[in-house]
């Protein structure tokens, strides 16, 4: 039985794939819906053993690590942080999820945290990676929106009492967030 382990993390709100791709000698202009896949040779020198390992980097701030141990994940984030400044301050994986594909002669099954298949198909890794990346990104957004709504509730309570103790900068931040949600 072979197992392929995925760990996805929502690390930031946006990652410049073109900057990372250029660093690795990939001359392709990435669009918003595309991901950047780095494996084997690209990961040599960053992780001790790069065979069988890969990462998918998504422009919406998520990275999916395939067959990487925790210390390798942190090494990869640290390395990519030197290229893409939005990743430079990441020291923990606050928003993450795991999944695994088991290649076995058992009955095929798809579960919440794993999939059993008799053979690995070429598209399975990309599909699992994309679903995980979007899932953790949505989790991060949900938590950020909850925090924002709590802040807004405090402001509304002050306004109901006739006070406005919010700076112009904070009000501008709320205005910007709600214009994005429209």
pLDDT digits (tens, 9 = 90+) for 2-39: 999 999 999 998 999 999 999 999 998 998 889 999 99
pLDDT of the residue at 125: 93
Average pLDDT of the chain to the nearest whole number: 88
Q: ∠149-150-151 over CA atoms, to 5°?
A: 90
Cα 95 from Cα 76, distance rounded (Å): 17
DSSP letters spanning 70-103: HHHHHHHHHHHHHHSGGGTT--S-SSEEEEEEEE
Instruction: Check pLDDT > 60 for residue 78.
Output: yes
Bridge partner residues of 54 (DSSP)? 39, 66
Virtual torsion, Cα 100, 18, 139, 171, nearest 10 deg: 170
* Residue 89: both structure tokens together: 């301050």
What counts of helices (H) and strands (E) characterise the chain?
5, 7
pLDDT at 41 over 70: yes
In the beta sheet, which residues pair with residue 113?
Answer: none
Q: Which tens digits make up the pLDDT trace of 130-162?
A: 999 999 999 999 998 888 888 888 777 777 787
Q: pTM to 2 decimals? A: 0.83
Name which of 11-20, 87-96, 159-168 the model is least confident about. Answer: 159-168
């Amino acid at each position: 039985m072979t197992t392929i382990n995925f760990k996805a993390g929502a690390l930031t709100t946006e990652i410049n794939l073109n900057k990372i791709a250029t660093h690795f000698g990939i001359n392709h202009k990435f669009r918003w819906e595309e991901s950047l896949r780095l494996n084997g040779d690209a990961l040599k020198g960053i992780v001790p053993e790069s065979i069988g390992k890969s990462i998918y980097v998504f422009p919406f701030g998520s990275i999916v690590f395939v067959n990487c141990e925790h210390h390798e994940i942190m090494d990869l984030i640290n390395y990519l942080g030197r290229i893409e400044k939005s990743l430079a301050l990441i020291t923990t994986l606050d928003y993450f999820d795991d999944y695994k594909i088991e290649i076995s002669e058992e009955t095929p099954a798809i579960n919440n945290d794993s999939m059993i298949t008799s053979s690995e198909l070429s598209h399975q890794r990309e599909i699992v990676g994309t679903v995980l990346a979007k899932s953790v990104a949505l989790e991060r957004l949900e938590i950020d929106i909850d925090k924002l709504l709590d802040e807004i509730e405090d402001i509304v309570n002050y306004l109901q009492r006739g006070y406005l103790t919010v700076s112009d900068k904070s009000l501008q931040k709320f205005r910007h967030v709600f214009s994005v949600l429209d």
